[in-house]
Structure 1
Amino acid sequence: MFQKIINELEEALGETISLLSSAEEAQLNAVPFEGSWTAAQTGIHLLKSGTGMDKLFTAPAPVTERVADKNIEELKSIFLDFSRKMESPEFILPEDKHYNKEELLILLKELRLAITEALKKATLKEVPELPDWNPFKGYTKLELVYFLIYHTQRHNQQIKNILKNVSA
């Protein structure tokens, strides 16, 4: 099961990298319609939401007394419901600017490696310390991995839609 989780995350982030790699830099920075992020901004959002997770996964934390996967199905139903419009927390909003394709891809590849390496050392039944304002306070490391997987899958779908609209 442990390797399956790592594979799922690697696959999701790998798809992000592949999607962004497949487009020209101008396409990555093109706004498909008013109020939308660009594909590059979506990649930056994923980068911001995943940055620091490697340290979170390897930091010692108390082991939960509840079932470690209790919130996974709820996360899946929230993030993979593509009809649901969601608002990003301000601290992981991408800046409205032009992004360099190669720099973005390098950062995403580094993030994927850092997180997957950290997961190999993680105890997924632990509940990491998070600030009170964090919506995932009280979640296990296992649930946080699945947040990353489902969140990335959601935004991969968004990137596909963006690229389809800017390529048309």
Structure 2
Amino acid sequence: MKTDIITELKTTREGFLNALALSDHSNFNTIPFEGSWTAGQVAEHIYKSIDGMPGLLSGDAKPTERDPNMMTAGLREMFLNFETKMQSPDFILPSDEPKELASLTQQIGDTLNGIIEAGQHIDVNLTVVGFEFPNAGPVTRIELLNFVSVHVQRHAHQLKQIRERL
């Protein structure tokens, strides 16, 4: 279980960074079609969603009083269904300001590396203290790792769609 998600996160990191690398300075902040984010906004959204995760994963946790993977299948199904349009919580919405490709690529890569590193050294079955999924409640570390993976995969797919439209 733990080894599988760590391996998946490494693959997900590479896939996202490779998709991001298909952008360049000339199109990183270009809206590809009406209602879409730019590649830069996708990158900022991902960074906002994972910033602080290494500390959260390594931080306070308590014994879990339910199946530690109770929400994993639902998260995976929801986020990997690319036909479903989702609404981001306000606190991780990207701004309309132009983004810097190299800086965001570095920040995202470093943060994903920190998440992978943290994931290798924690008991993934514990419940995270001080963080809950919106509308879902307390979350375990394994569920949080799965969320990071499928959320980043979803937006790697979005980056590829953006690239095709530019």
Q: TM-score range by the shorter chain?
A: over 0.9
What corresponds to 2:64 in structure 1?
64
- Number of residue pairs matched? 166
Give me the TM-score of the superposition, normalised by structure 2.
Answer: 0.93
Give me the TM-score of the superposition, normalised by structure 1.
Answer: 0.92
Q: Comparing both structures, which one devotes a greater share of its residues to strand?
A: 2
CA positional deviation for 1:75: 0.5
Q: Is the 8 A contact 1:61 1:126 kept in 2?
A: yes
Residues 131/115 of structure 1: CA separation in 2 closer, same or farther (3 Å cut):
closer
What corresponds to 2:121 in structure 1?
121
What SS class does the counterpart of residue 69 from structure 1 fall into? coil
What corresponds to 1:91 in structure 2?
91
CA positional deviation for 1:78: 0.8
Structure 1 residues 65-74 or 128-137, which shifts more? 128-137
Superposed, which structure 2 residues align to 1:65-84 within 5 Å?
65-84=65-84
> Hey, what's the Cα distance between the residues in 1 that align with 2:130 and 2:45?
20
Q: Is the 8 A contact 1:28 1:163 kept in 2?
A: no
CA positional deviation for 1:155: 0.8
* Structure 1: runs of 5+ lacking an equivalent: none
Residues 19/141 of structure 1: CA separation in 2 closer, same or farther (3 Å cut):
same
CA RMSD of aligned residues (A): 1.5
Residues 110/132 of structure 1: CA separation in 2 closer, same or farther (3 Å cut):
closer
1:37 and 2:37 are equivalent in the alignment: yes
1:107 and 2:104 are equivalent in the alignment: no
Percent identity for Structure 1 against Structure 2: 33
> Hey, what's the Cα distance between the residues in 2 that align with 1:133 and 1:98?
29
What corresponds to 1:156 in structure 2?
156
Structure 1 residues 28-37 or 131-140, which shifts more? 131-140
Residues 127/104 of structure 1: CA separation in 2 closer, same or farther (3 Å cut):
same
